[in-house]
Chain A
Amino acid sequence: MAATHAFPERAKSLGITSEKSLLKFLSSLPGIDQIGVEERAGYLATRSIKNESKRWAIDLALSMVDLTTLEGSDTDGKIRALCNKGLHPDPFDKTLGRVGAICVYNDKVKIARNHLDQIGGSDLPIAAVSTAFPAGRASMAVKIQDTRDAISDGASEIDMVIDRGAFLSGSYQDVFDEIVTIKSQCGDDVHLKVILETGELVSYDNVRKASYLACLAGADFIKTSTGKISPAATAPVVLIMLEAVRDFMNLSGIQIGVKPAGGIRNTKDAIKQLVLVNEIAGSQWLSPKYFRIGASALVNDLLMQRMKARDGYYASSNYVTLD
């Protein structure tokens, strides 16, 4: 079979120029001991983040949220409300910056972009879930068109899903090719986040393998989950992905971001994520440029905790906006 595959520079620089060399690279990755990695994640979950460091972490976490709505019932009104919330999470405190991005379905990108531009949020990125999200079960032509539509409507970040069926059956080259193709649609200006859907990958070894596969194929970010499958962004999974991007940076010099999504609903969870980033990948990743949290309800809990830190008591939930 003389199928031709494209290999981006970053893969070539690591000697990956054929399907054979790709498979060899992936199979040479060290294994993951399940008990060990869960123990480490559990250890880091006991870090006690208090006072000043908590206030700091809350503000950082807010700046990293990809404020998300991915419902079949989404309306234009809801999207506009989400944009307002993302630009001014706390309308009474203008010192607080915007969230990391607004994350919506493909067909809502245009309304979101237009609304943000109108309200002075032209620098707030819009992330579109793409490639037949969340299952990824569509033809390549459809996936490409999906991506093109989102970009032409104003998305500057594409959250694509990988074909888990292909991955689990060992067709790594197919998954690789798909990511390469979608990245070529994105070009340099549009950030590509590759959703591994770790809840369907069965083993931690597969999470590591899929992380490297995405990094090699051109991802700018690797993302845990669609949010439609449970479990989603568990601590051990995020830990493994952070190790992968840390080691990939040592190998290639390219810094890839990480985005946990799904199940991060309160401040405590978010701070645990930041501790993982800090102690596994390092402080270079502690920025919205390299770490995002896909969430919706999280923002309000962060705001309530922020008020608590400022005022010394918990406010009623009526003091944060519904959406």
Chain B
Amino acid sequence: MNKESNEFQYSPALESTSIVKIAERYGHFINGKFTSSRSGKTFATINPATEEILAKVAVGSKVDIDLAVKAASGAYKKVWSKLPAKERGKYLYRIARLMQERAREFAIIESLDNGKPIRETRDVDIPLAISHFFYHAGWADKLDYAGLGIAPRAHGVAGQIIPWNFPLLMLAWKIAPALAAGNTVVLKPAETTPLSALLFAEICQEADLPPGVVNIVTGDGKTGAEIIAHRGIDKVAFTGSTEVGKAIALSLATTGKPLSLELGGKGANIVFDDAPLDQAVEGIINGIFFNQGHVCCAGSRLLIQENIYNEFLEKLKNRMGKIRVGNPLDKNTDLGAINSKAQLQKIQTLTRAGAAEGAISWQPESSLPKKGFWYPPTIFTDVTMAHRIAREEIFGPVLSILTFRTAQEAIEKANNTPFGLSAGIWSEKGSRILWVAKELKAGVIWSNTFNKFDPASPFGGYKESGWGREGGRHGLASYLLRNEASAKSPSRKLVR
């Protein structure tokens, strides 16, 4: 052994996939049963790290959606709305416990289908998804305290469209509050990541959830559009791109259907010169490289106070050199695969635009696997507010770095975006943190940390980042209607 200097090479530490059984084909989950698509059409879902086909999944068409909505509507009228609230809570608790029992399966299947590291699915996605069910299970029989008067009512059937970046977690964000509030659901997982939702369907069966309370229809954007347009849907919830969100808002404009949207972002992480620098570096890394940057609330713009720019950049680059890119099933992988070819191309297009507009890109040395979709951790310096990479959501592991001189300038730059989802403030000075947080137009603001989620904490955006909140009492409210008859009841004083 050379004792002067050593390279510590971590041997592969692969999570075994033996406990996961993926079927060759999947149908929709309608009225408590798996049913094949009426059209017979299927699409393949692949492992983005290897481009291997994982399973064939049904494409939902109008007929399938009719069936799903009918099942949901029947279940709402006949069963779910008649059930005592605490019984709804019991089902949710049961689902949460069954998910815990099969957490490892969920973690592996999510990693396979999405490309994200097993470390993240195991430690973040799955535990958080489960905690959303536990949290909302508790709400089911306490809706009188949701701030909407005595006995607020459910909408009926909720149509829910979720994205591919946190497939199971987004499912939990949608289904848990909807069921707790007394709605039934028709949910469509993203085209590239349907498998964890289909495993969740199995959990619904195991939990003996009454048929039709949860219906899962797979498919692409057209399938989603059919769900949203369906007259049997009473409430629409969408998480995804701002572009699609706007189209949905337009399409529902005259229907009066309640709509909640959780869309894109271009979050600013603001580092002041008195910040705890090493932890700030970690926060920046976590903010943009967590989940390959496929995070709507990612801290994709870094604003560094000018006087610490060089020192901070040096630390950031050094830290980026330690990021381990590769096989998502390796327990030591920090950065996994890009979810799809289309997303990779979008990242490439935007980073090319960044370079063409004069920003300077830097990447640590890393070797990417030959097969699959990969993009190395990347930072751009010399970025100005006019650059596309400072304005558009890249949704990849790409950070745009800008500087500021005064707090006022940082606030102006952070707010100068059509989005308003997240922001981070790094400083040891409490008064400054509070003042800057007050001035920022963002739905979620973290100070001296980033990407912290809790089911009790509402999440959502300003401006083009969305309508409504998810999580907490605020999130629950979007699945409830105020019972006007009781709106002035004295019990309102019980809640804030």
Contacts and interface: CB of A to CB of B under 8 A. Distances in A.
Do A and B belong to a common assembly? yes
Interface of A: 30-33, 35-37, 39-40, 46-54, 56-57, 59-60, 63, 97, 243, 250, 274-275, 278-279, 283-284, 286-289
Contacts of A278: 8
B448 interface: yes
B185 to A, nearest CB: 35
A36 B279 CA distance: 5
10 contacts: A30-B278, A32-B279, A33-B276, A33-B279, A36-B279, A48-B13, A53-B10, A56-B9, A284-B5, A287-B6
A47 B276 contact: no
Contacts of A56: 1, 8-9
Given A31-B276, A40-B279, A59-B1, A283 B11 contact: no
A283 B276 contact: no
B312 to A, nearest CB: 10
Contacts of A279: 322
Contacts of A288: 3
Most chain A CB neighbours (cut-off 10 Å) among B119, B276, B278, B322: B278
Nearest to A285: B5
Interface string B102-130: 00000000000000000100010000000
A48 B12 CA distance: 9
B144 interface: no
Interface in B71-125: 119, 123
A36 B332 contact: no
B24 interface: no
B interface: dominant SS = loop
B381 to A, nearest CB: 19
A47 B449 contact: no
Contacts, number: 87
A interface: dominant SS = helix
Interface residues of B, number: 29
Contacts of B275: 30-31
B277 A60 contact: no
A309 to B, nearest CB: 12
Nearest to A243: B278
Contacts of B12: 50
B1 A47 contact: no
A50 B123 CA distance: 20
B282 A50 contact: no
Contact of B449 (A36, A54, A63, A283): A36
B274 interface: yes
A283 B9 CA distance: 10
A278 B332 CA distance: 13
Contacts of A37: 278-279
Interface string B256-286: 0000000000000000001111110011000
B11 A51 contact: yes
A162 to B, nearest CB: 23
Nearest to A54: B11
Interface in B1-25: 1, 3-13
Contacts of B278: 30, 32, 36-37, 243
B282 A36 contact: yes
B8 A53 contact: yes
A57 B283 CA distance: 29
Nearest to A278: B8
B1 A60 contact: yes
B376 to A, nearest CB: 18
B323 to A, nearest CB: 10
